[in-house]
Amino acid sequence: MEIKYFVLIIQRFNKLPVRYRLKWSLLPASALRHMRGVRLLAGICLMAFLSWGVSSCGDTSREVAAGEQPPGRPPNIVIVFTDDQGYADVGVYGAGDIPTPNLDGLAAEGLLLSNFYAAQPVCSASRAGLLTGCYPNRIGIHNALMPDSPIGLNPEEETLAELLKQQGYRTGIFGKWHLGDQPEFLPTQHGFDEFFGIPYSNDMWPLHPQQGPVFDFGPLPLYEQERVIDTLEDQTLLTRRITERSVSFIERNKDQPFFLYVPHPQPHVPLFVSEAFRGKSGRGLYGDVIMEIDWSVGEILEALDANGLTDNTWVIFTSDNGPWLAYGNHAGSADPLREGKGTNWEGGVREPCIMRFPGRLPAGQVVEAPLMAIDLLPTILSVTGGPEPELPIDGRNAWELLTGQTDQSPQDAYFFYYRVNELQAVRDGDWKLVLPHNYRTMEGQEPGADGLPGSYRYVDVETPELYNLRDDPSETRDLAAQHPEVVAALEVKADSIRNRLGDSLTGAEGSGNRPPGRIPSEDAPD
């Protein structure tokens, strides 16, 4: 597997202190634009070789600081969660035209998950799954919540932040929330001590390309805690400001366990990047944005190093869903996976995911078994010793998989919902059953460009389709006719989740669904 070669080759490169690694992220685009396959690998090898002498005489503060953690202190948790980033938009996942040395280095020091899934292929639902350990439809969060929506995450649901606070963790979110913008639903009401960022997607503002004919968005607010401190007319420095707040949070809380959640608004359109990274990648503005996010990860890692926190911090990097393909050159790539955001084909839900936890998780390994964002909450709590949520959740503890004690997924199967409670697919091991539903595609359509979207066409899956994802990750060969027994077995599993969570496509009503938070109609905004 090509991914494994990337991880092995960059292991030496990553021994450099972060500040030396960051220099490679600022290479001119011309130096990497044509590096593909073997040439890219050779380039990484050359950088590692040239850096050998630097690392041998470099700063040793990391080794000294790593031993300064008080014994018995619960580990810090850092989750970096990007927006609309494609599976192939990180170097170790095949992005030969976007230098991502910090993420590549993180993979060399930890785990690369090759079959990691978002909870759903859309903003709000995906975030709900990550933070609660539930399938989003269980808790009534569907699609992407609009500004001034009367709906948000129910206060009865316990987020990872709330559960960690019960253990004495300091909790902070810096970036995009998107689980309700009414005062009752803001992050500070769901376990976060600190919030700096935006309440919903960065395109929900008056400069949206479809403002007027389709949307009527007001100004995009920037929040500090529960107060609007600015309205954004230019997002050029937002990634940098989020990074600065994240680093400050680490420095201010180095003497106590903390949960740092960094849900970057980028690379969701509209794309913005600071001047330091403009024109630096081989993939235009989109690649420049990814480079700045990689820089941001490097700043966070360096802050952990500088404060002696590296060895007691579990760092997780992933994305909320796949690339928004309608935006053409302003969208990412899920290559070789099929489709993107807004679909339950692999390109919409399979995401890059990298984890590092020195001494606890193996280094330079690839985890191939399926895992989903809903599994992170129970897995993290198993490590911190935190309390279990009072209400039922869907995630399962994956620690044995991550530590190499097993090669099996913690779940019997994964279920892929979208829209309002539509069960669209089931995955069990290597097999994926795609159920009848309607989906959108840009295949055969004129792509968007430079911030303007193209138009999707809509296609019906009329009968169940079966794919072997190990042999056919691009979902091109329907094997339903050759393996009717597999189809039948997965249909049984689909019925089991329908009984619990329902399925609007078949009219099934679930017994385990819970309502979202909802403000009374008389209190709803006009």
- Distance in angstroms (rounded) separating the CA atoms of residues 196 and 222: 7
Residue 134 known to be catalytic: no
Residue type, 336: P
Residue type, 378: P
Catalytic residue, chosen from 142, 178, 190, 264, is 178
Catalytic residue, chosen from 123, 134, 208, 330, is 123
DSSP per residue, 197-221: EESS-TT-STT-TTBTTTB----EE
Residue 123: phi and psi, rounded to 5, are -55, -70
- What sign for the dihedral angle of Cα 263, 265, 267, 269? positive
For residue 167, count CB atoms less than 10 angstroms from its CB and return exposed for 0-12, middle for 13-18, buried for 19 or more: middle
CB 331 within 8 A of CB 454: no
Which of these, 519, 491, 486, lies nearest to 503 by C-alpha position? Answer: 491
Query: How many CB atoms are closer than 10 A to CB 354?
Result: 27
Query: How many CB atoms are closer than 10 A to CB 20?
Result: 16
CB 21 within 8 A of CB 386: no
Residues 243-258 as b or e (16 or more Cβ within 10 Å = b)? bebbbebbeebbeebb
- Give, as one character, the DSSP assignment of residue 508: B
Residue 123 known to be catalytic: yes
Catalytic amino acids? 123, 178
